[in-house]
Structure 1
């Protein structure tokens, strides 16, 4: 018998076994209230379609290795975009970028040819984002992590046609945090992000300004956008040629759009604001020396106090802020940020300069807490994430822009329970994102989340078989998306809508 027959037989058996076993992972009452779906009766045609996607699914079990950074190029630091009379101008543009020496790669960018600036806003300010589309296709501007009225959120409802513009006016009303922005047009998000549409947003407040944190932008406070890409033989970003329906990954790492980067730092404490801006790849960040560092923030704000960690994992869309103390290393030390496979992501070159002494205690950064009331709220919304490739669903449904899946009252906290149901191949981690809010993680599989998750979040990694409970409150009205932040899963239908009124 040929190998395809054996693979087919194994896959069909796994579907039957997987369907039976996964159906018994929850209580009968939970299953009924969650409208749990039994996928064990998938028809033959659908199973054959899923079998064709096995290669894509398997590529995430053993992902293609990343290149090691040679450190030959100094890391590009995005320009800061500050307000002028409360106004920020942000344009999505076509361009070419010299990523590889003497080669011009066609790219997209915000206010430039590739990636975007760091937009810095202050809590309490009323601001206007004047957005314009200078691409040759429709786009949107989604403010990931920003608490903003639904009409300005930039979801797929808010297309801006080529040559058109839109003003987004809102009051910044959340605590200091590192957020980001990217496009969100239905059916084109993954490709537009892949080509370069992404940038960071810094929210500052009185607390962040008073803390003795490294805050000299580009000197001891660095934005780091990690994205893996696959270039064709002409060094172009041919997205359709490398598209993987289970999440497109590549072998070439870019940090802030820089190939083979290095970062020059002083012998001092340095703040790194990490964003996983990839379409699908997860990163576990470590120092090659095994030394610990301090995490000070999650997606949406500071932890209550710094925590010492030796690694941190971010799935697509997640952010974290960490502090590395380079004063304990010498210039000749070989220090790099690496991933779990040991690939060199970002080498550091240590100089002798110091920006300032940071002697003030960092014990009290925030007063975040999950309250007893939030812990004891009944579950009001249950979601089941399921599937692979083109057959991803939430509660057995794929996205329909004309369908509202849930409603919620403005200002009221509800408990959302999200279950990542394993599929026949075992399942994938789904980074689950809710627009327009920062939520609290109440529990993961009934247990307290780790210390690194004791902070505001807008995206959470949910492993196959896991159930998480979130305390979710919307401070603004409108229609907001919730979805898997593997961008190809989002586009294949793993997305829904909640209307806040």
Structure 2
């Protein structure tokens, strides 16, 4: 029923889309795009039934399926750490079976295991080889989300790895400490492969991160948390095609690190939580059920300059954040949990009063900044995100692997202006991601970004009718994707290509 409504919706949208500016070649990239007439769609001739269908299309995201509360019956497992062996990291995409529900084996995908993947740990300045092997029965790619890597190794849709094939990607790590991730990116199959379990983490460490007085003991006071929502069939299997929502597939069952009904045992101490929104489409607002504040210390691509006090944090698909929660002030029997905006229990915490630390989070973490020169640069690339369902577009065009949408010179900073054009129902949030780089948010609707976004980013939430300016520099050559990280929107064509020369 959902799919039929969405089909009607997307057909209706297709009849009323207003064209934006087309994506230009290098000669037309500097032309000005006028947003003044882009506030909405002309729907004066639409019937009431058609308008209701449009509204239903967005309803699954404005009022998404509610998630289950975690009962806290399963201790949260942690991904294994995977370090280079003589400079080589072996990563295998494979099929398997995983006991997500007690006594039931669910057919899943995973990296180096049956479900999800390891945490790959590398150091700035280290030369590493990612040796990838596809043991799936279908083609895949290995995309290194947030990694500054040459284009031929980025793992976009050009870099298909057929079943049984092996490929090596060698590069030198030239970025600072950060929590990154990796997932597949084959054209037409990204959303389903991620949904089945292909996702893993990458930790980059540097001299600064190793010397900072912050929690850094993996599995003791430093925890990766991968949040994903899923739907299961009656026999507890994944059936992506049955639940596919062309406007972004939303589930009613929360998995954290692939675990149903998790809890996390922590000490009465300061604890570092590395949050990844690994969902296909669901947005999360994370907060503590006690109402207490916490400190955010990092964005997608690195540390903030100083800890930022937050009462909640919002992450769209693909975004990451690192936060510090001080559990030392709670009693051992306290009822503490990470919840969402609807107070759904995402992850309850159990306190171990025998585990303590006296870490004092430093006031200075990084030297990130936007230069005056960057602030004065003119906008040279304008992108208009628009549409819903199968009719999404960037600058009125859908993805074509044979078309280069933009060009940019290696090592040169340009200002990209991203505008989310609303539709007649107000539009949707689009998490905008650029491959192969970390960018700076210069402004949001002409204003300085909030403190917790003043750090390196590779994915940014763009609200309807919002304009965001980004300072973008590529340190490597190659062809890179830029796209909405609602995976179904990406699949439906909300993606383009920039060639760095």
Q: Is TM more than 0.5 here? A: yes
Partner SS, residue 246 of structure 1: coil
Is contact 1:481–1:497 with CA below 8 Å preserved after alignment?
Answer: yes
Shift of 1:331: 1.0
Partner residue, 1:193:
194
- CA distance in 2 between partners of 1:466 and 1:178 (Å): 27
Is contact 1:50–1:388 with CA below 8 Å preserved after alignment?
Answer: no
CA RMSD of aligned residues (A): 2.7
Q: Which runs of 5+ in 1 are unaligned?
A: 1-7, 24-29
Moved more, 292-301 or 33-42: 33-42
Is contact 1:220–1:355 with CA below 8 Å preserved after alignment?
Answer: no
Partner residue, 1:216:
217
Partner residue, 2:402:
402
Is contact 1:19–1:423 with CA below 8 Å preserved after alignment?
Answer: no
Is contact 1:53–1:245 with CA below 8 Å preserved after alignment?
Answer: no
Shift of 1:54: 5.0
- CA distance in 1 between partners of 2:346 and 2:189 (Å): 28
Shift of 1:52: 5.9
Partner residue, 1:26:
none
- CA distance in 1 between partners of 2:394 and 2:440 (Å): 21
Partner residue, 1:92:
93
Partner residue, 2:116:
115
Mapped pair 1:314 → 2:310 = no
Cα distance per residue 1:389-441 (max 9 Å; x no partner) = 00000000000000000000000000000000001111000000000000000
Aligned residues: 483
Mapped pair 1:145 → 2:150 = no
Partner SS, residue 108 of structure 1: strand
Is contact 1:35–1:395 with CA below 8 Å preserved after alignment?
Answer: no
- CA distance in 2 between partners of 1:474 and 1:410 (Å): 6
- CA distance in 1 between partners of 2:44 and 2:76 (Å): 51
Partner SS, residue 33 of structure 1: coil
Partner residue, 2:303:
302
Partner SS, residue 327 of structure 1: coil
Partner residue, 1:421:
421
- CA distance in 1 between partners of 2:12 and 2:491 (Å): 26
Cα distance per residue 1:90-144 (max 9 Å; x no partner) = 0000000000000000000000000000000000000000000000000000000
Is contact 2:282–2:316 with CA below 8 Å preserved after alignment?
Answer: yes
Is contact 1:420–1:463 with CA below 8 Å preserved after alignment?
Answer: yes
Shift of 1:35: 7.1
Pairing 1:324-403 to 2, within 5 Å after superposition = 324-354=325-355, 356-359=357-360, 361-403=361-403
Q: Taking structure 1 as reference, are residues 171 and 91 closer, same or farther at Cα in structure 2, changes over 3 Å only?
A: same
- TM (norm. structure 2) is 0.92
Partner residue, 2:411:
411
- CA distance in 2 between partners of 1:44 and 1:232 (Å): 40
- CA distance in 2 between partners of 1:385 and 1:94 (Å): 35
Pairing 1:467-478 to 2, within 5 Å after superposition = 467-478=467-478
Partner residue, 1:285:
286
- CA distance in 1 between partners of 2:353 and 2:154 (Å): 44
Is contact 2:41–2:423 with CA below 8 Å preserved after alignment?
Answer: no
- CA distance in 2 between partners of 1:166 and 1:50 (Å): 49
Mapped pair 1:166 → 2:167 = yes
Shift of 1:51: 7.5
Partner SS, residue 457 of structure 1: coil
- CA distance in 1 between partners of 2:418 and 2:267 (Å): 43
- CA distance in 2 between partners of 1:330 and 1:52 (Å): 51
Shift of 1:56: 3.6
- CA distance in 2 between partners of 1:50 and 1:152 (Å): 45
- TM (norm. structure 1) is 0.92
Partner residue, 2:24:
none
Shift of 1:44: 9.5
Cα distance per residue 1:434-488 (max 9 Å; x no partner) = 0000000000000010000010000000000000000000000000000000000
Is contact 1:261–1:347 with CA below 8 Å preserved after alignment?
Answer: yes
Shift of 1:353: 2.6
Shift of 1:358: 1.2
